[in-house]
Structure formats: structure tokens, C-alpha cells
């Protein structure tokens, strides 16, 4: 129980954004917006992953849950890192801002300066305090004992320069750098002397939290104003990161020379993330550029869990595990980020 039970992984809505970035033409109106949004999300996740090492130095037994999303009275709230101990809980909100940051406790804003440009963000301390309030409500609603809740905003980009005025206690106490975490943990450990709940209760609460975790699953096309027929069709090559593999004698072949029997599986996963978890033979062929309906039928039979009969159309149901089945996305994202930038 000393380390995280859930591997640190990419939440579904970010996987969807990656798939969308791979399938949207660079000439599309929304391209720049989607690219920026995806890059921000990935940078944020990178920032969160930087918490793992300091967390491993946490001096007491704990369970840490990354990216947990819960609801109370049908309002959703999301916590970057929730750490449960038998003495207290800890909420960490990771912020991967770059450049100079000035914290304003009167206006409750964070002002970021990049060259001569200023950008204003909402106060992350207010955000984390709201999470404390929501989590405390969630504990009450689920009949769990009251545990003290501590919360901090962690700046995970070491190159960020923080400007917090000496009189600004609101931010000075709650905004910390990554390097500050180990000493902070020791202080918290010393501050809370008594165990309030047993290791068994921690397990029960963890189980409930995981059970009630509701991942954010937006309709990614609608949300980003992209229509299905604007998406790039075809099968990606994992060796060179280009779209356009052709099926010949049950093998996908890329002009770069790479051959792969199962390259279509990733296109099916893209279809699942972007369009639907149900796909017909014709939709599959249109999406991948496969011409033979018999080859398509064989592939779909191997990759879908059941058939859903709707009037005359046979649909195949796709089902994947968001935690383990989408690693190919990072391979393609890296190829595209390099190639699209160099244009």
C-alpha cells in the first residue's frame, strides 16, 4: 500500500484529443486550437508525473490516486492527486506554467508574463480550496469519518519563476515548488500525530473512490467543432508515422518498407475514441481505406466483442481499456509534432 495502486496514465479525454490531432488535416480551421489544447494537456500530465518521485519519499503509509473525478449532487470535481493516509488526506494540484508568474491575492489571479505579453489565469488556490470543500462533502455523503484535508498547489515546471509578495499569505502558504514537497510531507507527518482511521478503512475508502471515479468522456468531435467526414482516413505506420498503409495479402504495407499484420487495430481504436464504439463493415472500410469487405469482416470478427443487430446493418461493438490499449498514440503524436512543426 506504500505506492500508487493505479498507474499514472493518460485520461480518456486526452487520448481523444491525441487521436483527433492525428486525424485532423493541418488546413482545418480548428487545427491550431486542437494542437495547442493537446500540447497543454500533455504538458500538464508531464508536470503531474514529476510528482511521482517526491511522493515516493512520503514518510507514511499512503494510497495515492492520480486524476480522480467524482460527483456530488451531480456536480463534478476533479483532483490531480489525492493522497490518503490514516491521519489526514492531501490534495495536490499540479500546475505546469512556464515563465514568470505573479500571484495576486486581491484580484485572485495569476498573471503570467511571456516576453511582453500578459496572460491571466484563475487563482489555483481558490480552485484547490473548492476541491477540499467538495471532497469533504463527498466523504459526508458516503458516510466516511471526517479526516483533515490539506491542500497545495505544486508548481511542477522547475523553470517557472514565482513572484509571491511577502504579505501575500494566501499564496505563500499554499503554492509550493516541487523541491519543497519532501520537507512539506515531513511537516505534515509531524503535525498530525494520531491515526484517525485504520489501514482497512483506507482500503475501503480507496475502493469506493475508484468505484465512483467517473472519467470525463466528451463527444470530442462536437466539442471541437469537427465533423466526422472531415477526418483523415487511413492506417498509420508506427515505423515512420505516416498515414497511408495499404493492405496486400493480409498485410499492411507502408511505402517506407514497414509491414504489419495488425496495423488496422490502431485505426479501430481511433474510430472508438473519435466516432463510436460501434462500427459497421462499411464504416470500417471507409475509415481505413480497406477495399475488401471480406477482409474487413475477418478483422472485425477478431477485434470486436459482439454483434449488435440493428435493422439490416450489422454493427460490431468495440471495447478497449483506456489504461492499457492506447500507447500507440504517443508514438504517432511524437512523429507528427516533429513533422508538422518543421513545415
| Interacting residues toward Zn ion by CB under 5 A | 237, 239-240, 254, 256, 258
Least spacing, CB of residue 341 vs Zn ion, in Å:
19
Backbone conformation region of residue 147, classed left if phi is above 0, alpha if psi is from -120 to 50, else beta: beta
Give the residue with the Cβ less far from Zn ion, 10 or 235.
Answer: 235
CA separation, residue 68 to residues 81, 93, 150, 206, 209 (Å): 7, 12, 16, 11, 8
- At its nearest, how many Å lie between Zn ion and the CB of residue 241? 7
Nearer to Zn ion, 164 or 254 (CB): 254
Q: How far is the CB of 328 from Zn ion (least distance, A)?
A: 13
> Which three cell numbers mark 168?
501575500
Cα dist from 86 to 28, 93, 209, whole Å: 52, 21, 16
Query: Beta-carbon neighbour count of residue 10 at 10 Å?
Result: 19
Terminal C-alpha separation, the chain: 48
The Cα-based distances of 185 to 62, 116, 132, 150, 305 in angstroms read 12, 37, 18, 11, 46
Residue 13 near residue 264 (C-beta atoms within 8 A): no
Nearer to Zn ion by Cβ, of 21 and 252: the residue is 252
Q: Least distance to Zn ion from the beta carbon of 327, Å?
A: 18
- Quick one: 141 or 256, whose CB is closer to Zn ion? 256
Minimum separation from the CB atom of position 332 to Zn ion (A): 11
> Smaller CB distance to Zn ion: residue 192 or 258?
258
Q: Is the CB of 143 or the CB of 257 nearer to Zn ion?
A: 257
The least distance separating Zn ion from the CB of residue 130, rounded to whole angstroms, comes to 47
Q: 96 or 335, CB closer to Zn ion?
A: 335
- Cα distances from 27 to residues 72, 79, 244, in angstroms, run 42, 36, 18
User: What are the grid coordinates assigned to 146, written together?
Assistant: 471526517
Closest distance to Zn ion from the beta carbon of 15 (Å): 22
With the C-alpha atoms ordered 331, 155, 86, 75, is the resulting torsion angle positive or negative? Answer: negative
Amino acid at each position: 500500500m506504500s505506492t500508487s495502486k493505479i498507474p499514472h496514465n493518460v485520461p480518456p479525454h486526452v487520448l481523444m484529443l491525441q487521436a483527433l490531432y492525428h486525424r485532423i488535416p493541418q488546413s482545418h480551421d480548428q487545427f491550431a486550437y486542437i494542437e495547442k489544447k493537446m500540447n497543454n494537456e500533455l504538458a500538464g500530465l508531464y508536470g503531474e508525473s514529476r510528482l511521482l518521485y517526491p511522493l515516493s519519499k512520503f514518510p507514511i503509509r499512503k494510497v495515492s490516486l492520480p486524476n480522480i473525478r467524482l460527483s456530488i449532487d451531480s456536480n463534478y470535481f476533479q483532483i490531480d492527486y489525492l493522497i490518503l493516509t490514516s491521519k489526514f488526506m492531501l490534495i495536490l494540484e499540479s500546475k505546469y506554467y512556464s515563465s514568470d508568474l505573479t500571484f495576486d491575492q486581491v484580484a485572485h489571479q495569476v498573471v503570467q508574463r511571456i516576453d511582453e505579453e500578459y496572460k491571466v489565469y484563475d487563482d489555483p488556490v481558490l480552485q484547490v480550496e473548492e476541491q477540499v470543500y467538495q471532497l469533504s462533502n463527498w466523504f459526508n455523503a458516503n458516510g466516511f469519518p471526517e479526516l483533515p484535508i490539506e491542500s497545495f498547489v505544486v508548481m511542477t515546471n522547475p523553470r517557472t519563476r514565482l513572484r509571491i509578495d511577502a504579505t501575500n499569505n494566501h499564496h505563500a502558504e499554499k503554492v509550493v515548488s516541487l523541491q519543497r514537497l519532501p520537507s512539506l510531507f515531513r511537516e505534515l507527518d509531524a503535525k498530525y500525530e494520531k491515526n484517525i482511521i485504520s489501514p482497512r478503512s483506507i482500503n475501503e475508502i480507496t475502493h469506493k473512490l475508484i468505484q465512483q471515479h467517473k472519467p470525463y468522456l466528451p463527444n470530442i468531435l462536437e466539442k471541437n467543432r469537427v465533423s466526422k467526414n472531415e477526418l483523415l482516413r487511413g492506417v498509420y505506420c508506427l515505423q515512420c508515422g505516416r498515414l497511408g498503409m495499404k493492405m496486400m495479402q493480409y498485410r499492411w504495407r507502408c511505402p517506407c518498407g514497414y509491414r504489419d499484420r495488425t496495423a488496422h487495430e490502431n485505426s479501430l481504436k481511433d474510430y472508438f475514441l473519435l466516432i463510436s464504439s460501434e462500427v459497421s463493415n462499411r464504416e470500417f472500410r471507409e475509415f481505413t481505406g480497406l477495399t475488401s469487405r471480406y477482409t474487413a469482416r475477418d478483422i472485425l470478427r477478431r477485434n470486436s466483442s459482439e454483434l449488435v443487430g440493428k435493422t439490416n446493418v450489422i454493427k460490431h461493438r468495440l471495447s478497449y481499456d483506456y489504461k492499457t490499449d492506447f500507447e500507440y498514440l504517443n508514438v504517432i503524436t511524437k512523429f507528427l509534432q516533429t513533422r508538422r512543426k518543421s513545415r
